[in-house]
Amino acid sequence: MPDAAPSPARRAWRRFLLNRPATLAAFTLALVLLATLVGPVLSPHDPNAGSDSPFAPPNARYWFGTDIHGRDLLTRTLVGTRISLLVGLTGAAVSVLIGVAWGLVAAYAGGRPDAFMMRCVDILYALPNIIFVMLVIVLTEGTLIGWIQQHAPGLAPSVRLLLLFACLGAVSWLNMARIVRGQVLSLRHRPFILASRILGARPLHILTRHLLPNVTGVVIVYATLTVPSVILYESFLSFLGLGIRPPDASLGTLIEDGARQLNPLLVRWWLLIFPAGLLATLLLALHHLGDGLRDALDPRAES
């Protein structure tokens, strides 16, 4: 046999490409991402500038119609999607970072440190989510904004967004930590870990070279599920006035604005359908991407 067997990563990639819904999902996501990056630049309209034609239905000039202030809904939706994606991705990244580190260390250390770390997770878990978030926002906002205004006044407007990322990540890492811990617990006593330890490997080496790669699959799949839930949670926070502030918008706030215009007499469907449709598309794509990655990264799925 002249050819070496393809590496596991390459085989996983091949399995992924054979999965029709997953590749379609990845393609859709890439397309949406491209549209949110390029669209607002190409658009002749400013997302936050009003015009004289409020509530215009979709037409040649305003493809998605306009909202209550006559703002172009297409541009607003694209910019809003960008913010939502940013929030979702960073929130998920923060949760991956904290959750994976916490779960890895707890499971590998075992015994008392493990018990202590997991009790911490239990306690935070028993605190209502929304109160946890509001507390983090209120406790950090004042000091953070003061600090930023002293050192980098230009950044002040984006502080809220940063804060939002941190909070959303902070509430969603708990499940990640539990999942990673469960995985590591089952891996920790496998012969290959023992072998590595006998050969004199340091704990850090075992953690990063042996355990981390083995949990990557689960982490990626769970992260793709975290992104949509973070996006939805942001929309709830914005509903409470704790998230994105007007005139800026996220998909969630656009949908909420659309829902507010609902009344039995005049149906301004475009205000709700376009942002909601885009959100549904995103969530569906992320869901199928997660499913596809799970199947691709599972070596047992090899046929």
| Contacting residues toward other proteins, per CB under 8 A | 119, 122-123, 125-128, 130-131, 134-135, 138-139, 142, 228, 232, 235-236, 239-240, 252, 255-256, 258-260, 262-264, 272, 276, 279-280, 283-284
Q: Is 72 helix (H, G, I), strand (E, B) or coil?
A: strand
Any residues with CB less than 8 A from the CB of 65 and at least 6 apart, and which?
55, 56, 57, 58, 59, 73, 268, 270, 271, 274
Tokens representing 53 are 């034609």
In whole angstroms, how close is the CB of 138 to other proteins at the nearest point?
A: 5
Other C-beta atoms closer than 10 Å to the C-beta of 150 total 8
**Least distance (Å) between residue 184 CB and other proteins:** 18
- To other proteins, the closest distance from the beta carbon of 253 in angstroms equals 11
Total residue length of the chain:
303
Based on CB atoms, which residue is closest to other proteins, 119 or 205?
Answer: 119
> Which is closer to other proteins, CB of 38 or CB of 135?
135
Residue closer to other proteins (CB basis): 97 or 127 = 127
Q: Which is nearer to other proteins, 100 or 279 (CB)?
A: 279
Beta carbon of residue 6, minimum distance to other proteins (angstroms, whole number): 26
> CB 142 → other proteins: shortest distance, Å?
6
**With the CA atoms of 142, 143, 147 and 149 taken in that order, what torsion angle do they form, in degrees rounded to the nearest 10?**
10
Nearest to residue 58, comparing CAs of 281, 266, 268, 277? 268
Distance separating alpha carbons of residues 276 and 252, to the nearest angstrom: 8
Residue closer to other proteins by CB (options 234, 248) is 234
